[in-house]
Structures are given as C-alpha cells and as structure tokens.
Amino acid sequence: MAKFDLTAKNCQYLDRHLTFPLLEFLLQKNVYDQSSLLKFILETVSKTNMVDYTMDIRERLTLEKTLPEELNTRRANVLVTLKELQTEVAPLMKCMEELKNPDTLKDSKSIIHSLQQQLDYDIIQSAQKLAKYLYECGNYNDSLSYLYICMLVMEPNDKNYLGVLWGKLAVEILTLNWPTALEDLTRLRDFIENYNFSPIQVLQQRTWLIHWSVLVFFNHAKGRDLIIDMFLYKPQYLNAIQTMCPHILRYLATAVIINRGRRNALKDLIKVIQQESYTYRDPITEFLEHLYVNFDFEGARKKLHECQTVIINDFFIIGCLDEFIENARLMIFETFCRIHQCITIGMLADKLNMKPDEAECWIVNLIRNARLDAKIDSKLGHVVMGTQPLSPYQQLVEKIDSLSVRSEALTLLVERKHKAKTQESGEGHWKYY
C-alpha cells in the first residue's frame, strides 16, 4: 500500500505542525515500520518547542524514561523566552481584553484605530514573535489571539503580514475551525494573487496553498464545489498542479466523483488526467480513464476495489469512502446503461462488486428515488432501461461552463500580454543599469 501513499509528497508543502496528524494517521494504518516512523516523528518534533510531545514519542519508542539534560534545558529556555516575550507585549493585553468584551465588539473599528495609534511598531513585532513562539510550543489557541491582533493592526505591505496570514490559516486548521479556515484561505489566496511576487515565488505560494486548501475543502460543507472551481477552473492553479504537484489530481478526481451536482466537470477533468497520465496515475485517476476513455468496465471494477484501499489509507479523503463507493458504482451503472438497453442483474452485480441481491436492492432504490428511468423484470432477472436524453437545460449549462472557462483563459492571456508590454515600455524610461 506504500506504493500509493502520498504522505511524503504532501508533507513537503505543509507546515511541520500540519504534518503531525498525517504521521499519526500513518501509525494507525501500519503502512510503514512503526519504529522508523516514530523516529522520523521524533526527529521532526525536535525542531519545535513541543517538549511534552517529544516525551510522548520517546515513551512510545521505549527509550529511557528519564529526560536527557538537553530536553530539561530546552524546556527551561522555552519558559524563559516565553516570559520575556509576554513582558514585551504587556501593553497589548489590555487591548485584547477589550476586544474579547462583547460590549466593545460593536465599536471594534475604533479599537483597531486606537491600537494602530497608540502601540509602537516594535510591540506589534513582538506580538508576532510571541504568536509564532506559542505556535511552536503547540499552544495554538493562545497563538491565535495574537495572530488576530497582528492581522488587524498590520498593513498588508508589512513584511510580516504574509507570515501572519499563513500562521492564522495553520492555527484554524489545527483547531478544526473550518468555517474560519475557509475565510482565511480565501483572504490568503487574494493576497497571493495581488502581491508583487516573482513568477517562481507565486508558483511556490500557489503550490503550498493548494496542499493546505485540500485539508480545508474536504472538511467544509461547501468544499466539494470550491475545490473543483479552484483546482480545475482557475487556470493559474491548474497550471501549478500540472507543473509542481500532479498528485493533487487524486483529490480533484475524488471531489468530482462524490459531487453528483458537478458531473459536467468530468469531461474537463478527464482531459487533464490524460494529459498528466505520464507523470502521475493512481487507482482513482485510472478508474476514470477505464470508465470514460476506454469503456473498460472490467478494468473499472478492479480499480474501484483498489480505490477503496487507497482511500482508507489517505488522511485527506478517508471520510469520503462511503460516498465515493456509492457514486463510483452509480457512474459505472450509468455508463453501462448508456451502451446497453437490457442488462441482467447478475452482470451488473459483477460490474459493481456486489452480490446479485444487493445489486437488485440498490437498483430498486435508484428507481424509487427517481434517479433512474428503468424497470426490473424479476422473473428474467433483467433491468430494462428507458430513454434518457440530455435535457436542453443540461446542454445549455454545459455550454455556458465551457464558455466561461475559455473566457477566463483568454482574459488572463490578454492581461499577461498587456502587463509584459507595459513593463517593456517602462524599462526604456527607467533603466539604471
């Protein structure tokens, strides 16, 4: 199963603290040698100030229970530094208490204005350092309070503002506050797109954001639509996926499969999967290729079985397992029905990895819920399909979606050319070298 594990690739683009839940998940799944994985976690956590977590990992490795002198010294140093930073930001404490007071929340703008006027820039910097230090200690909730203050007071052109945005998003993810995490994700994405990064820097920022956003999207009610809109229909992010991290196609494919309302995205997704098949493929992307490119139902059935194993061992999408299997079976069934008008229940059961009785009950439920135009002949054991033409409304929706994608791509191309032309004309007047 280690063949399809993406933890190593994903962790390259995640903050150190965000990798700990993934690594703990792997420990439960026994994908790798437990001792080796614990040693890796110990090596990673030693780069933070999480002394208690370090002790816990040492115990699980059955190392000596007495703490090494180095750990005792480190703990003492952490406490001293923490106290020093808290002293430096003492003027902020009163303001923070006022912000927490429900009576003063109505006039929060005036409080922010007074913070900007009264507090020295060095205090704001100290608050940012304290937030980072608390974060490194694993004290995420206290870190969030200081990050919130920094985000309110700092100007967007401040050199530390980007770090504060990343830090707040990380804390919201680690504290499982998904609605706020989505807001922070949107704010960070807008900042990245509007900041004056070099092409390499903006590509790196987008790649990191893509990986962090997967954690948010699969835990938010609106995430299944948003991940498709961002990864598939925003050309700059699709380009980042194709250039830097084609393995993200696993999560995009999963989102499309479990989202019945976005079946029109299948055509565009499959084009991307075919383009990137030489750089990345796994059972989930191959399942779609077998079903919609090769029309190989036997191959799709085998890949669906492999998909279950992949999802069970993937931290990001394990919560989607039941929905994935249900919708993948429905996709096989719908595609099979477009080709055949009369199908035996036994054949369907074989294609869907189900027993004949289970398959018949499943089809009955589809008909009952008005999601299938078909009749069952129980005596012969056949399913007789009705005609299912594509409605004019659905045809119009698909055309509009296609036009919007092309329009956005053309707009970006025109903007890029205009920007390049402006820069060229500007260089002629302001060249000092």
Q: Pairing state of beta strands 342-344 and 374-377?
A: unpaired
DSSP-assigned letters across all residues of 343-383: EEHHHHHHHTT--HHHHHHHHHHHHHTTS--EEEETTTTEE
pLDDT at 73 over 50: yes
pLDDT for res 158: 87
Spatial contact of 291 and 267, defined as CB atoms under 8 Å apart: no
pLDDT tens, residue by residue, 209-232: 999 999 999 999 899 999 999 999
DSSP-assigned letters across all residues of 41-102: HHHHHTTSS-HHHHHHHHHHTT--SSPPHHHHHHHHHHHHHHHHHHHHTHHHHHHHHHHH-T
* Domain limits, the chain: 342-383
Mark out the alpha helices in 218-293 (DSSP H runs): 223-231, 235-244, 249-258, 266-275, 283-292
Q: Report how far residue 128's alpha carbon sits from residue 341's, in angstroms, rounded to the nearest whole number.
A: 66
pLDDT tens, residue by residue, 264-304: 889 899 999 999 999 999 999 999 999 998 888 889 988 99
pLDDT for res 71: 81
Spatial contact of 343 and 385, defined as CB atoms under 8 Å apart: yes
Mean pLDDT (whole number) for 72-101: 78
pLDDT for res 428: 46
pLDDT at 422 over 80: no
Burial of 412 from C-beta contacts in 10 A (0-12 / 13-18 / 19+): middle
HSE toward the beta carbon, residue 147, CA cutoff 13 A? 23
Pick 425 or 332 by higher pLDDT: 332
pLDDT tens, residue by residue, 9-38: 999 999 999 999 999 999 998 888 889 999
Residues facing 382 on adjacent strands: 344, 377
Which band of pLDDT confidence, cut at 50, 70 and 90, is reported for residue 3? Answer: confident
Strand order in the sheet with 342-344: 342-344, 382-385, 374-377
Kindly tell me the number of DSSP H helices and DSSP E strands found in the chain: 22, 3
pLDDT for res 337: 73
pLDDT for res 432: 35
Q: Which amino acid is at 200?
A: I
Q: How far is CA 121 from CA 74, 88, 116, 124, 203, in A?
A: 29, 12, 9, 5, 31
Which band of pLDDT confidence, cut at 50, 70 and 90, is reported for residue 395? Answer: low
Q: Report how far residue 117's alpha carbon sits from residue 126's, in angstroms, rounded to the nearest whole number.
A: 17
Instruction: Indicate if the alpha-carbon torsion angle 303, 307, 313, 315 is positive or negative.
Output: positive
Over its C-alpha atoms, the chain yields an Rg (Å, rounded) of: 27
H/E element, 385: strand 382-385
Spatial contact of 115 and 152, defined as CB atoms under 8 Å apart: yes
pLDDT for res 355: 80
Phi-psi domain of 266 (left: phi exceeds 0; alpha: psi -120 through 50; beta: other)? alpha
Q: Report how far residue 252's alpha carbon sits from residue 230's, in angstroms, rounded to the nearest whole number.
A: 10
- Residue 432 three-state SS: coil
pLDDT at 106 over 60: no
